[in-house]
């Protein structure tokens, strides 16, 4: 094998087994896929040590993928519950799972997750640094941070969020902006604190080439984190966000030069009228690299319903060029999500991704909608349930108030429009009172 990463193989015109799987899943010409990968517009995050992986492609011309965040915190240390979330995520077809555990020794959980998951696995090494190194923030050295990156890569993590763009230049732009919500990225805030306390440059920026060497060794895709993403609609598209995005564009090219695959992360909170322009701006400044968005949440006043505010923003973002959606649950801003929250977040994100794929004209995206519509016309309930994103919930709703007339539902009964039209087109009479 004369390549280390999927990008290197693509540049050398080598077709990998992962490319073959993705081309079949996406019904895309494999040579076109290879070309998109060679120029960085598509990635296949596939760590050489993640042997249970079912590869997925992220980027231009492919289906919009979704990511599920999970992991323990200091207030909720229940690994069994987190594995239940993993199983649920896989059941509903999430293509990626990020382990954001930030308490204790997380390597055992992460290893088990990588061993059993066909979905891509992502992490944020910055979250794990304090627990892994057993040092307080001020005691951690720049080289220490790289040790955590190496540990995650060696375990088999497919993509890592690395907040390399929040360098001293970006921090100065942030400070001048006078935001309402300042820095809302957990990893970004920790790096900002470390930089301010030590007076040093961001270690992931200062030693970026060494970070890339580690990622290249294991074929880990770098997900360039947006430490200065807006945490409120007031702060969106400000100098802090854009200055960091400019840095991420330069870092993208440097990663490609070392044959490391790149995702670029994006906002955040953002009013609807700014989303499309932000997608165009990101693609332009970051040279067409796949865009990974958290939301964006289109209003700040819906705690408990932020899976909905996120799905609205996510659908608009993806239909305008975003390639990868990070789910948001109803628990966002409130608590660690439980199993029910995770399900609601996944469903909302899947709806957003699918709606965007229809809008983008992804080949075959409409097929299942057309099948559902045909089953509705024929009033075939079992077939309708089989096409539903959440077939169990659809069935439970239908059966909770069963109709007297089986070829209808309890909403319209015999006055069902489908039933009426079908009877007339079949040459039958429409009668409502004959059974009285």
Annotated binding residues for substrate, written as ranges, equal 69, 98, 127, 163, 185-187, 226-229, 265, 292
CB 155 within 8 A of CB 114: yes
Q: Which residues contact 273 (CB under 8 A, 6 or more apart)?
A: none
Query: How far is Cα 244 from Cα 3, in angstroms, rounded to an integer?
Result: 32
CB 349 within 8 A of CB 314: yes
Helix (H, G, I), strand (E, B) or coil at 23: helix
Distances from the Cα of 149 to the Cα of 87, 153, 214, 345, angstroms = 26, 6, 8, 28
- Tokens in use for 20? 């073959």
The runs of H, that is alpha helices, within 286-426 are: 306-319, 339-360, 367-377, 381-387, 391-400, 417-425
Residues that constitute the known binding site:
69, 98, 127, 163, 185-187, 226-229, 265, 269, 292, 333, 409, 412, 416
- Tokens in use for 411? 């909403």
Residues that constitute the known binding site for [4Fe-4S] cluster:
409, 412, 416
**R_g over Cα of the chain:** 23
Residues that constitute the known binding site for Zn(2+):
269, 333
CB 339 within 8 A of CB 88: yes
Q: What is the DSSP letter of 319?
A: H
Other CB atoms closer than 10 Å to residue 72's CB: what's the count?
Answer: 20
User: Could you tell me which of 134, 159, 165 has the C-alpha nearest to residue 147?
Assistant: 134
Query: How far is Cα 243 from Cα 281, in angstroms, rounded to an integer?
Result: 12
Query: How far is Cα 372 from Cα 260, in angstroms, rounded to an integer?
Result: 41
Q: Classify the C-alpha dihedral 308-309-314-316 as positive or negative.
A: positive
Give the per-residue SS3 of 416-432.
Answer: CHHHHHHHHHCCCCCCC
User: Could you tell me which of 32, 91, 44, 51 has the C-alpha nearest to residue 390?
Assistant: 91
Distances from the Cα of 202 to the Cα of 164, 190, 193, 394, angstroms = 7, 11, 10, 49
């Amino acid at each position: 094998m004369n390549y280390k990463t999927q990008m290197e193989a693509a540049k050398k015109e080598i077709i990998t087994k992962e490319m073959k799987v993705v081309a079949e899943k996406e019904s895309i010409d494999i040579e076109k896929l290879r070309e998109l990968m060679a120029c960085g517009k598509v990635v296949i995050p596939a760590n050489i040590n993640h042997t249970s992986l079912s590869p997925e492609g992220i980027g231009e011309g492919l289906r919009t993928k979704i990511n599920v965040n999970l992991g323990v915190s200091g207030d909720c240390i229940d690994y069994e519950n987190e594995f239940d979330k993993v199983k649920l995520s896989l059941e509903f077809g999430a293509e990626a799972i990020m382990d954001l555990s930030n308490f204790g020794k997380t390597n055992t959980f992460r290893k088990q997750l990588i061993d059993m998951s066909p979905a891509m696995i992502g992490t944020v090494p910055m979250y794990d640094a304090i627990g892994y190194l057993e040092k307080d923030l001020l005691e951690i050295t720049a080289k220490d941070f790289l040790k955590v990156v190496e540990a995650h890569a060696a375990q088999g993590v497919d993509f890592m969020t690395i907040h390399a763009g929040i360098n001293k230049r970006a921090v100065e732009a942030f400070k001048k902006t006078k935001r309402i919500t300042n820095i809302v990225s957990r990893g970004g805030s920790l790096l900002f604190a470390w930089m301010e306390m030590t007076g040093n440059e961001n270690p992931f920026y200062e030693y970026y080439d060494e970070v890339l060497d580690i990622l290249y060794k294991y074929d880990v895709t770098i997900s360039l984190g947006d430490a200065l993403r807006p945490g409120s609609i007031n702060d969106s598209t400000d100098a802090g966000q854009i200055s960091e995005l400019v840095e991420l564009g330069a870092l993208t090219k440097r990663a490609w030069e070392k044959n490391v695959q790149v995702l670029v992360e994006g906002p955040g909170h953002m009013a609807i009228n700014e989303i499309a322009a932000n997608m165009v701006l990101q693609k332009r400044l970051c040279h067409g690299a796949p865009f990974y968005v958290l939301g964006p949440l289109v209003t700040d006043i819906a705690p408990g319903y932020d899976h909905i505010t996120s799905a609205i923003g996510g659908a608009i973002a993806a239909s305008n060029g975003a390639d990868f959606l990070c789910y948001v649950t109803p628990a966002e801003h409130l608590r660690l999500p439980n199993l029910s929250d995770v399900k609601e977040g996944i469903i909302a994100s899947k709806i957003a991704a699918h709606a965007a794929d229809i809008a983008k004209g992804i080949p075959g995206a409409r097929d299942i909608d057309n099948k559902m519509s045909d089953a509705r016309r024929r009033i075939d309930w079992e077939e309708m349930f089989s096409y539903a994103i959440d077939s169990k919930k659809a069935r439970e709703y239908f059966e909770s108030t069963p109709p007297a007339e089986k070829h209808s539902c309890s909403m319209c009964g015999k006055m069902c429009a489908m039933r009426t039209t079908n009877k007339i087109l079949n040459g039958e009479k429409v009668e409502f009172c004959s059974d009285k």
